[in-house]
Structure 1
């Protein structure tokens, strides 16, 4: 599907290596947004997360994307949305952007390339999007550390096998895991990914498990809570 339609916006996804999926959409909808935040979206791809956060009421989003075709596609999606004045695309390596940046952000969000040491796709765009060769954890954390406000939040999606090592590395840089949501498809499944929120302030870790479906093609109450304002299947219910 080259275009994915949501209730209030659409995502063209011909060029980006990572297409719209339930995990990414849910992750974006779970972002810790109160309204009015300045947001940095690292590795925006199609711009999906930026668009979701714009709908949620953030003040502005700066979306950084390394791959030129994906950045161009995100720019198109931004221009086509109701929030074009709040969405800004930067085609750059996040390391270079962080070195030159003068702005800091209340919220940094990232669905990073995390398939390190797995077999690689022959498609260059998909390979860039799915492997961390271009964005090792150390480089990601260094960028976040320099771009996050003192009371800012870092929202990250990781596969389960990467969570513990990343959290330990983040803590060594003064970013503490504040909230962890393990996400599974059904109650019979083990979680495959976790949505993580880091803060500079130390505190008690809040942890939970979120199940996407209660049965085949039927969303759970928890996932529906987050997705009901986004997915077209819920549009008639919300009218």
Structure 2
């Protein structure tokens, strides 16, 4: 199989996701966010920066809520649509091929839950035109939207006391918290993911409540691998085997 060929992979829990290595493939970060996000009582969900749809697909295992998957890139939208069709979720998940900055809260909100796996890295100082950026660059760097813009849009879309859940890098934790609080998203739950025992965390999960009161719970961290390179048994069962989808 070449990098330009589409492939069908399995998500935790058994759903099929269509991907292309040369365009974009989902990462563990998306799986962790889907497990972390509290969708139990949600009736409406928007996933921003949806990529190939890993988060919407996994959330569909946790909730009966209507899910809208917003993604800017046409190639990713086509892959996502095929995954939704393959899994028979056309009635629950709707793909919206659009710039998230064009979402209008008066029309597109309010919703109970917003999830987002945004670009992690700041745009280069010499920012190139969006049409010249590659698919992976748009997904990984703040070429199409900044951290401040995506948190502001999440806040605008979610209802009062609704929730917004993000996955990001720990080194940008302070920046993410500041951006959230500037738009009345109060961080309420935080979880850190460590690659191995004794290693610094490399993944940050945050859930905020719109207009929430101060007070944050730091949940027990996950460790992904044992020192011998094998998965930690608890992490393997909860995340990779999909038990967290039904917790």
Give the TM-score normalised by structure 1: 0.87
Q: Map of 1:27-42 to 2, 5 A cutoff?
A: 27-42=33-48
CA distance in 1, matches of 2:117, 2:17: 16
Pick the aligned partner of 2:26 from 10, 20, 34.
20
Question: In the superposition, relative to structure 1, how do residues 184 and 73 fare at CA in structure 2: closer, same or farther (>3 Å)?
Answer: same
**209-218 or 161-170, which deviates more:** 209-218
Q: Hey, what does 1:207 align to over in structure 2?
A: 218
Q: Which residue of 2 aligns with 1:173?
A: 183
219-228 or 134-143: which moved more?
A: 219-228
**Any idea what SS the aligned residue of 2:104 has?**
helix
Whole-angstrom CA distance in 2 between matches of 1:76 and 1:51: 12
Secondary structure of residue in 2 paired with 1:109: strand
Q: Distance in 2 between matches of 1:111 and 1:98?
A: 20
Q: Paired residue for 2:4?
A: none
Please give the TM-score of this superposition, normalised by the length of structure 2: 0.84
SS in 2 for 1:133: coil
Unaligned 5+ residue runs, structure 2? 2-6
Structure 2 residue 192 is matched with structure 1 residue 187: no
- The alpha carbon displacement at 1:101 in A equals 2.8
- What is the SS of the residue equivalent to 1:191? coil
Contact 2:42 2:112 in 1 (8 A): no
| Corresponding residue pairs, total | 230
Larger mean CA deviation between 76-85 and 192-201 belongs to 76-85
Cα distance in 2 for partners of 1:137, 1:192 equals 18
Residues 106 and 153 in structure 1, CA contact (< 8 A), matched pair in contact too:
yes
| C-alpha distance in 2 between matches for 1:16 and 1:85 | 29
For the 8 Å contact 1:15–1:73, the answer to whether it is kept is no
1:52–1:169 distance in 2 versus 1, CA, 3 Å: same
Quote the RMSD (CA, aligned, Å). Answer: 2.5
SS of residue matched to 1:183: strand
| Residues 40 and 108 in structure 1, CA contact (< 8 A), matched pair in contact too | yes
Gaps in structure 1 of 5+ consecutive residues: 232-239
- CA separation in 2, counterparts of 1:24 and 1:210? 15
1:228 alignment partner in structure 2: 241
1:59-95 C-alpha deviation (Å, 9 max, x unpaired):
1110000011111111111111132210000000001
CA shift in 2, pair 1:187/1:43, >3 Å: same
Q: Which runs of 4+ in 1 moved over 4 A?
A: 117-120
State the partner residue of 1:217.
Answer: 230
